[in-house]
């Protein structure tokens, strides 16, 4: 949802910078590789160690800047790399749940939801890529990249600021469930368009 409708501001901010990078010969993959490395470093070096709100702010800066690669890709012929950083964020939150949360039902649930979120981080873009391989643009879904990251990190930061651990659990649970719903939506959308094309 936010992924489709919240790109105008970053695009306006980063278009001049993207133009400069394009002229300098910088490719989208170079920008994405740097952003991915920074995301992984923050996820495991900050978030996983228990500094949740600090890591949340750092990740927000890194991922806002990640908009440069998409803008640059539209100006060049290059593509972008896979969203490895997304999996790293969910993995770091799962690590936090395993090693920093008190033993109990909340921790168990958080770990399960975190693992499912890691799977979802790969499954959602894979569903889109498979759709595009047959000529269908399936960018729809209730849990795009931005939505999942905001909910996961937002709930973790709220917990870190003193709220119940169940806020964090609820956030990860939503991410896990919504990820698989999004995959289903994209598969259904693709199948429907293929059927319509064959029936035309």
Active site residues: 82
Separation of alpha carbons 145 and 134, rounded Å: 22
Check: CB of residue 90 under 8 Å from CB of residue 117. yes
Question: What does 45-72 look like in DSSP terms, one character per residue?
Answer: IIITTT-HHHHHHHHHHHHHHTHHHHHH
* CA angle in degrees (0–180, nearest 5) for 178-67-91: 45
How far is the first Cα of the chain from the last one, in angstroms, to the nearest whole number? Answer: 30
All residues at 6 or more sequence positions from 32 whose CB lies less than 8 Å from its CB, including other chains: 66, 69, 80, 81
DSSP secondary structure letter of residue 7: -
Question: Residue 148 and residue 158: Cα distance in Å, rounded?
Answer: 15
């Amino acid at each position: 949802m936010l992924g489709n409708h919240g790109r105008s501001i970053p695009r306006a901010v980063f278009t001049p910078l993207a133009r400069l990078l394009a002229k300098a010969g910088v490719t989208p993959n170079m920008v994405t590789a740097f952003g991915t490395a920074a995301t992984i470093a923050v996820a495991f070096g900050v978030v996983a160690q228990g500094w949740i709100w600090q890591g949340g702010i750092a990740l927000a800066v890194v991922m806002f800047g990640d908009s440069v690669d998409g803008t640059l890709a539209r100006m060049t012929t290059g593509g972008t790399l896979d969203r490895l950083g997304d999996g790293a964020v969910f993995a770091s939150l799962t690590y936090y749940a395993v090693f920093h949360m008190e033993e109990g039902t909340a921790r168990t649930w958080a770990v399960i939801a975190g693992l499912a979120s890691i799977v979802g981080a790969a499954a959602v873009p894979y569903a889109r890529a498979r759709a595009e391989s047959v000529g269908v643009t399936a960018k729809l879904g209730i849990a795009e990249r931005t939505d999942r990251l905001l909910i996961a990190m937002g709930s973790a930061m709220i917990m870190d600021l003193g709220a119940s651990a169940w806020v964090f659990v609820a956030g990860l649970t939503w991410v896990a469930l919504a990820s698989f719903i999004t995959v289903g939506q994209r598969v259904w959308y693709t199948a429907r368009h293929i059927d319509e094309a064959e029936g035309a």
